[in-house]
A = this chain, B = another copy of it.
Amino acid sequence: MSRSLRLAVIPGDGIGPEVVVQGLKVLAAVLPSDVKLETREYDLGARRWHATGETLPDAELDSLKDHDAILLGAIGDPSVPSGVLERGLLLKLRFAFDHYVNLRPSKLFPNTATPLAGRPEIDFVVVREGTEGPYTGNGGSLRTGTPAEVATEVSLNTAYGVERVVRDAYERANARPRKKLTLVHKNNVLVYAGHLWKNIFDTVGREYPEVTTDYLHVDAATIFFVTQPERFDVIVTDNLFGDILTDLAAAITGGIGLAASGNINPGGAYPSMFEPVHGSAPDIAGTGKADPTATVLSVALLLRHLGYEAEAARVETAVAQDVTARDGAPRSTEQTGDALVSRVLAASVTN
């Protein structure tokens, strides 16, 4: 009997299409031979918006739903007003498919350049809430464009939404050797949302007696990211704080060329979506310089999410070997993709 993996692919803007090609190559190379990979590509992003004014039509949202997972390259282009594609496409997908766990692992590989002196050990995972907080699009502007303008942004937080992501983070912490979970918020200022998060964090924590817990204000957390990143194991945080912290995490672990992410709907009611943390990088689009590693690592998260644990590990090992062997000589997007495919294949032969 043959299995299938029905994958929706959104190459998107800028370097998105280039890196996605390499991610798909690695995916094809690592999948067990009895798994039939069916991909369907969606033309969404800046080009589509310019051509039709559409960001994500309902019909396409429906059709995307009918997949096991989504692989996304990057969304965003300077020719489109800021916010249009982010809100109308990327965030719309995260919200429509209830991707409440935005999973972002950070690991400093040996030999990878880091801006930090002393090369601390870095190996943590940020569980960023993905469907609430200041990202709900709740807000508005009155007397727009006049000297009397007032603009609001509302951060929405529910016990329902916080509890499920906090629980997911405890599960992940509990499954790791160090079993440590840090909540990051700003509960000395954002007291309503902050206390909701902290209370739920403490309450759910009673169910995980083996997990050591810690709380940090977001400002203090950025200090520890650069002075003592080894103190972190799993971090759970709000949508906006998670956005900020994971870019910083990427920077200290070798740059966004390596940072992977999964927008996960743990229950599986909707397809989860996997994407590199880097954006569309229009300045290098088409030059063949983009590093596809973050996309390949996102493919590993995709494989793990779908139950292909051995295959996910094989991709991660291939990346770790390759990254460690890199000598800084320039390599094209395709060359890096090829190198990763070779390593994945070599590992599968010796397995």
Contacts and interface: CB of A to CB of B under 8 A. Distances in A.
B83 A191 contact: yes
Contact of A187 (B83, B159, B186): B83
A255 B222 CA distance: 12
A70 B187 CA distance: 26
Q: A87, A196, A250 — which one has the most chain B CB atoms within 10 A of its CB? A: A196
B193 A153 contact: yes
Interface stretch (A26-34, A241-249, A296-304): A241-249
A292 interface: no
A223 B87 contact: no
A190 B244 CA distance: 13
A155 B240 CA distance: 13
Interface residues of A, number: 69
Interface string A280-318: 000000000000000000000000000000000000000
Contacts of A87: 188-189, 191
Interface string A7-18: 000000000000
A150 B157 contact: yes
A146 interface: yes
Given A226-B248, A248-B222, A248-B223, A192 B115 contact: no
Nearest to A200: B149
Contacts of A137: 191
Interface string A122-159: 00000000000011010111011111111111111111
A189 B83 contact: yes
Nearest to A163: B147
A145 B198 CA distance: 11
A11 to B, nearest CB: 20
A45 interface: no
A248 B248 contact: yes
A115 to B, nearest CB: 5
Interface in A188-240: 188-196, 198-199, 218-220, 222-223, 225-227, 240
Contact of A192 (B153, B243, B248): B153
B220 A247 contact: yes
Q: A76, A155, A156, A218 — which one has the most chain B CB atoms within 10 A of its CB? A: A155
Given A115-B116, A116-B116, A153-B193, A82 B188 contact: yes
Contact of A189 (B134, B152, B196, B220): B134
A45 to B, nearest CB: 14
A256 interface: yes
Task: Pick the 6 closest A-B CB pairs, nearest first.
Answer: A219-B247, A149-B159, A83-B191, A222-B248, A151-B192, A117-B117
Given A83-B194, A222-B244, A223-B255, 6 more contacts: A76-B188, A86-B188, A115-B118, A117-B118, A144-B196, A153-B157
Interface of A: 76, 82-83, 86-87, 91, 114-118, 134-135, 137, 139-141, 143-160, 163, 186-196, 198-199, 218-220, 222-223, 225-227, 240, 243-248, 250-252, 255-256
10 contacts: A86-B188, A116-B117, A139-B193, A148-B158, A186-B243, A219-B244, A222-B244, A222-B251, A223-B247, A223-B248
